[in-house]
Amino acid sequence: MLLSVDVTGRCNLQCCMCYNRQYSGHELPKEYLLRLIWTSPPTLEFYFLGGEPLLRGDFCEVLENSVRAGHKTSFCTNGTLLTPKRVAEILDTGVSSVYVSLDGASTEANDAIRGPGNFRRCIEGLIELDRAIDRRSMDVELIVGATATQKNWQSILEIPALLDKLQVIVDKFTVGPVITVGFPTADPALRISENTYLDLCEALCSAWRSFSGIAYLCMPNPELVVRYLQRKYSLALPECITDCPVIQRRDVGRVLANGEIVPCNGRLDLLRRYHNSGTGGDRVFLGNLQGLDDSVLFDKWIHFFEPHCSLRADVCRACPYANHCQVCPMENFYQTGWRMCREKSCIEATRRIREAGLEAEVLGPLSGTRQSRGISREAIYFKKRRNGKEVLINPVMEQLAFVDGHLAALVRVLLQSNDIGPVIESGLHRGHSHSEAAEEVASALDVLARFGVDVAKYHKD
């Protein structure tokens, strides 16, 4: 399970879509953070954010303690403070992953969101972090994330190509729609429509195979939309299906910069409404948390809202995913403003599914069973990883295989031909014996077999 912790409300930027600005005058004491880290079970993951965590002079000490206590540890940064010295200190802690926010592929687009000069500083920091991970041959996950608004959504389409051009290896590129409800500084004018967000997702999926250095694309959507995008573009889209991670018991909750602990911070206005009303017999703004055990912090809140996770609109009746599809239960219960209307998204997705002739694959009786579908060789695709490695991706079964560059090259040859002869010849030309070359072929065929490719023909030849 994961606990998000706002280590500070301070920030060196003034992003126009920020939902945390109300906590800019708050910061959690180091003693509190260390007590929380060391009294919580090692199975708990910590995700530190803010504000801008790197404004804290003691932040690397917090990271180091979290790692030493056995927690999987990650944090989010705007990237502008990733100097060579700071990056070295961060990597010395043993942190598992770093999330860098980037809201455009140009100075004009990004800085319209984040302020003048911050595109250059973020790019410089991102490159420094990427190169330092490479130099140390570390297994640190690098995530780049963008928030889609009316100001920048078209420029977001260009970010993957920019990262490839910069030769930055990214494990995951995440895109989500801006939140324009539920906090004091929310600006409804920034909101993008459901159709525009789907256009953005489709455009990214359409070009995704052409980007070599980013493994995964993560775009939160209803399952119907995710399955449509998977089938149409033959991509693996892990972690895209939206649900409530607290009700699913993947997240413990979130510690705000003022010390309050809440289930989530997506709709603090609705949490406050629930908290003050006593509707579910629970108060969800906790304080002075000393540590965590294996119990669920917000069990009463979960019990109350779990029945309200399901949307029962007309579009849901014929949807094969309706029984396990989820919306924000508080928005559903209070029937208030939506961050993104699930019903509108699914109505538009259904129209596009029919237009593309994908009803049988996405809406049919076997649509939810990935195992029922075979895979063509053309469906498998490759992404560069660090240290000369590549990841092979099977979009049908959402399988991954991390291999060295040489084995990846052999798999490519086999995918393009039914004949193992050229692969054997390649090994012989490199001075390998016939048996060594045959072992290489066997390793490549084993990868393909695990991916569901019929390798019988190769063996016959």
The DSSP secondary structure of 77-135, one letter per residue, reads E-STT--HHHHHHHHHTT-SEEEEE---SSHHHHHHHH-TTHHHHHHHHHHHHHHHHHH
pLDDT at 281: 66
Angle between the N-to-C axes of helices 84-92 and 118-136, in degrees from 0 to 180, rounded to the nearest 10: 50
| Of 98-102, 235-239, 365-369, 416-420, the least confident | 365-369
pLDDT at 362: 92
The predicted model gives 259-282 an average pLDDT of 84
pLDDT at 76: 98
Provide the sign of the torsion angle of the four alpha carbons 40, 20, 112, 156, taken in this order: positive
**Across all residues in the chain, what is the average pLDDT?**
89
Per the CB < 8 A criterion, the answer to whether 330 and 271 are in contact is yes
What is the percentage of the chain residues whose pLDDT exceeds 90?
Answer: 56
Higher local confidence (pLDDT), 288 or 68: 68
Provide the sign of the torsion angle of the four alpha carbons 383, 386, 388, 389, taken in this order: negative
Per the CB < 8 A criterion, the answer to whether 447 and 392 are in contact is yes
pLDDT at 263: 92
* pLDDT tens, residue by residue, 287-341: 766 566 656 688 889 999 999 998 888 889 889 998 888 889 999 999 887 777 8
What is the percentage of the chain residues whose pLDDT exceeds 70?
Answer: 92
Q: How confident is the model at residue 285 (pLDDT cuts 50, 70, 90)?
A: confident
Angle between the N-to-C axes of helices 342-355 and 223-233, in degrees from 0 to 180, rounded to the nearest 10: 30
241: pLDDT strictly greater than 80: yes
Q: How confident is the model at residue 461 (pLDDT cuts 50, 70, 90)?
A: very low
Of residues 196, 194, 193, the one with CA closest to residue 222: 194
Higher local confidence (pLDDT), 92 or 371: 92
59: pLDDT strictly greater than 80: yes
372: pLDDT strictly greater than 60: no
56: pLDDT strictly greater than 50: yes
Work out the end-to-end distance of the chain between its first and last CA atoms, rounded to an integer number of angstroms.
49
Per the CB < 8 A criterion, the answer to whether 45 and 63 are in contact is no
The predicted model gives 114-120 an average pLDDT of 96
Higher local confidence (pLDDT), 104 or 375: 104
Per the CB < 8 A criterion, the answer to whether 392 and 451 are in contact is yes
> Would you give the distance in Å from CA 407 to the centre of its chain?
28
458: pLDDT strictly greater than 60: yes
* pLDDT tens, residue by residue, 380-422: 899 999 988 999 998 877 788 889 988 898 888 888 877 787 6
